[in-house]
Structure formats: C-alpha cells, structure tokens
C-alpha cells in the first residue's frame, strides 16, 4: 500500500516522482528527475488539485484512494492542462464518474480536445469562489504562465496557493516534500533552468500573475513540480526569482557560448574570458555548445547580464548548434542583455555577419567591436579579443 503524505490538517500530497524520463518535453535533460505534484484537500467536499503523468497513474491512484479513506471525490481542480499534470484525468473519471472537473473556459475546451470529456465540467471565471466546507477556494486566471488556460487556486482558509507550474522546479522529491525537510538551495538553479526553458518567453504574463497574487497572504505554495514552499523566507525567495527572471534582470556576469570545430574559435573565447577575469568580472561562464545542453546555457543567459557568442563559419552559415541556440534565445524574447560576438573562418567568412544580423533583431545592447579571425589567431586578433572582453567588463561595471 502506497501512503499519501499528510502536509497539514485536511491536505495530502498524492504526487509521484519520475526518475526514468531522460528529457522533459522531449527537450530538456533531467539528470535529477522531476516530480509531478498532486494534492487532495478533504472537507465536507473533497477537491483534488491536478493529476499526474499517465505513466504513474497506478501509484497515483493508490495514494489518492488511501487519502480519501472511502470518501468520494467531488472535484478535480485543473490548474494546468499539460499532459504531465492532466494525463490521468480520463482514468480518474472512470474511477470517479461523478467527479466535477473544475476549470476555466479554455480548460474545458482542452479537456474535451484531449480526453473527449464534456459532462460534469464546471466552468469558473476569474476571482470566482468555490466553498468546500470550512475551506473556501478562489480562482485566479493566469493565462500564458505558460499555457493559455493556466490558473492558480487559493485556499482562503489556510492561505495556500496551488500554483500550477509556477514556482516549480526540476528535480525529484527524495523523501522530504516540504522546504523544511530538505536543503531548498539545491533546487534554485533547477528552478531557474525550469523557468528559463519552459516559461521564459512569457515574462509579461508572469508579471501580471505576480501582480494578481501580490496582496494575498501566502503560507504555502503548492506547485506541480518540486518542493512545497512553506518557510516565509523561502516563499519570498522563490517569488523573487520569478519576479527577477520575468523582468529579464540579470546579475553581473558573462556567458560566453561558442562553437568550435578545431579549437580556433575556442581560443578566442578563452582569450575574451581571460580579459574579463583580469578586469574583475568573477562570474564568467564558458559553454561549448556542442558539449553542453542548451537548457543550461539558456539558464545562465537568464542569470547574467553579459552574453558573448562565437561561431566558425559552417557551410556559409553559423555553426549549427550556435544557430540553434540563437533561435531559442529569440524565441524567448530576451531583453536587457549586453551582447558581443566573434567568429572565425578558413576561406569564406559569414559567421560574424550572421551574428550581426542576430544582434540587430534583438533588443540587446551591442558592446565592443566584433572580432573575426581568418584561419588562426594572430597577435593582433588576440588583442582584439582582449579589447572585446574589456569593453564588456566596462559596460557591466557601469551598473554597479
């Protein structure tokens, strides 16, 4: 028998851990796995908040039925329809045929589209309330954080925000599920990686959602991924992370992302990094785009103000992994970054020209002069690389 975990009076954790999946959304590596969180609130009426990936439905249903203790399930609140959270919804309806599915109009459309369910669907509006007994739920629509139907549910009695994917993080829950039971700091970088890759494009909707929540007293944040946040300082911390990332604010530091086939472009990257360090910039992160998953590079680009990209010319274009990285940056509507670039070629140069086109299409501030090397780096080109590093350091220091 798999037991649910009691979070507090009336509230149970019935989520699961996934230590098998290699890639989240078939894109982002999961070296530390991921959790799919679901919660049951027991009152005169019972309410389930989201389900789990269908691959783990057997574990989920054992926990849920034990937590219910023979009671029927009255409501399932759908804060987010992505299949890692709604995947068990069809099976849930077969086990609890009278359960009411609660969501907004867009949720109802997706419930029908994904699962063919149209009956016993309760459509709610923004700020509408649903009483369970002593607990009273209030719904906050937060579209495009990060799907159009996303919403959050607030338990007005116990001051709990069931936040959907917001404030979530990669990483399984290894024993403890509350921030009081683990070292929360080990999840911070995975929260940033989760936000920057999954939510990152939607900074403005995230800001609107934070504004909606700003006047609420919050004692618990129950996300669909990662720990439950209960410590006041931790709640403040995770909200501040989302606030900062959604404003595209970065810390002092530089990400140098480069592609290199035979080492010449890498030499340029290392020369720039050397000068940055000489100028007192301590956070300098070099990423070889062929060796490092782009999810980590994007995470670091969200963390730091400076970005310098280097590429050799490849088939008269950018190096493929560099081009792919730039498309991901463009897709996230990144703002407020200082940008420098460099490149190399053997007989026909085009990488630097294409990096210049990328710079023109972004809202980044171009810093320093681009450096282009033909074949191998001369002493003059080495000095140009140092000058680019110095220009970036001076621009960063202006913000101190």
Q: What is the DSSP string of 241-286?
A: HHHHHHTT--EEEEEEEE--SSSHHHHHHHHHHHHHHHTT---EEE
Specify the CATH number for the domain of residue 261.
3.40.50.360
| pLDDT exceeds cutoff 60 at 339 | yes
User: Which range (94-103, 373-382, 389-398) has the least confidence?
Assistant: 373-382
Residue 122 located in a structural domain? yes
Residues 230, 259 within the same domain: no
Residues 271, 312 within the same domain: yes
- With 0.85 as the threshold, say if the pTM is over it: yes
Q: Which range of residues forms the domain containing residue 363? A: 251-395
Residues 333, 205 within the same domain: no
pLDDT band at 1 (very low <50, low <70, confident <90, very high): low
- Residue 347's pLDDT is 84
Average pLDDT, the chain: 95
- pLDDT digits over 115-137, tens only? 999 999 999 999 999 999 999 99
Distance of CA 23 to the CA centre of its chain: 14
Residue 400 located in a structural domain? no
Greatest alpha-carbon span in the chain:
78
pLDDT band at 374 (very low <50, low <70, confident <90, very high): confident
Residues 175, 279 within the same domain: no
Residues 10, 133 within the same domain: yes
pLDDT band at 224 (very low <50, low <70, confident <90, very high): very high
pLDDT band at 106 (very low <50, low <70, confident <90, very high): very high
Residue 22 located in a structural domain? yes
Residues 301, 376 within the same domain: yes
| pLDDT exceeds cutoff 90 at 79 | yes
Residue 374 located in a structural domain? yes
Tokens standing for residue 175: 């024993």
Residues 119, 221 within the same domain: yes
Domain count, the chain: 2
Distance CA 297, CA 172 (A): 22
- pLDDT digits over 267-322, tens only? 999 999 999 999 999 999 999 999 999 999 999 999 999 999 999 998 888 889 99
Q: For the residues 335-358, what does the mean pLDDT come to?
A: 91
């Amino acid at each position: 028998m798999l037991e649910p975990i009691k979070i507090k009076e009336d509230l149970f954790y019935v989520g699961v851990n996934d230590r098998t999946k290699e890639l989240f959304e078939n894109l982002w590596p999961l070296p530390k796995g991921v959790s799919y969180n679901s919660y049951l609130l027991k009152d005169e009426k019972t309410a389930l908040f989201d389900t789990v990936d269908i691959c783990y439905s057997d574990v989920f249903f054992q926990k849920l039925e034990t937590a219910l203790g023979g009671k029927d399930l009255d409501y399932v609140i759908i804060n987010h329809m992505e299949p890692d959270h709604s995947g068990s919804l069809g099976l849930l309806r077969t086990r609890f045929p009278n359960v009411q599915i609660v969501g907004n109009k867009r949720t109802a459309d997706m419930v029908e589209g994904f699962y063919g369910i149209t009956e016993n669907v309760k459509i709610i509006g923004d700020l509408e309330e649903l009483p369970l007994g002593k607990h009273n739920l209030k719904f906050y629509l937060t579209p495009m954080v990060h799907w159009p139907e996303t919403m959050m549910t607030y338990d007005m009695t116990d001051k709990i925000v069931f936040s959907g994917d917001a404030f979530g993080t990669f990483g399984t829950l290894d024993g403890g599920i509350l921030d009081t039971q683990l070292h929360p700091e080990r999840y911070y970088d995975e929260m940033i990686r989760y936000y920057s890759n999954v939510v990152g494009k939607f900074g403005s909707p995230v800001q609107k959602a934070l504004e909606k929540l700003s006047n609420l007293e919050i004692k618990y944040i129950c996300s669909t991924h990662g720990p439950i946040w209960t410590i006041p300082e931790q709640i403040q911390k995770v909200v501040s992370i989302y606030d900062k990332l959604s404003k595209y604010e970065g810390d002092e530091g530089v990400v140098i992302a480069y592609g290199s086939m035979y080492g010449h472009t890498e030499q340029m990257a290392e020369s720039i990094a050397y000068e940055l360090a000489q100028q007192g910039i301590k956070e300098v992160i070099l990423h070889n785009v062929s060796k490092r998953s782009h999810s980590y590079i994007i995470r670091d680009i969200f963390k730091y103000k400076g970005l310098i990209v280097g590429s050799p010319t490849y088939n008269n274009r950018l190096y493929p992994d560099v081009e792919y990285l730039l498309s991901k940056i463009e897709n996230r509507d990144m703002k407020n970054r200082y940008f420098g670039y460099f490149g190399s070629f053997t007989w026909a140069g085009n990488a630097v020209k294409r990096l210049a086109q990328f710079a023109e299409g972004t809202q980044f501030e171009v810093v320093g002069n681009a450096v282009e090397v033909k074949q191998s780096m001369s002493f003059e080109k080495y000095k140009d690389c140092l000058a680019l590093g110095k220009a970036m350091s001076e621009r960063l220091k202006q913000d101190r």
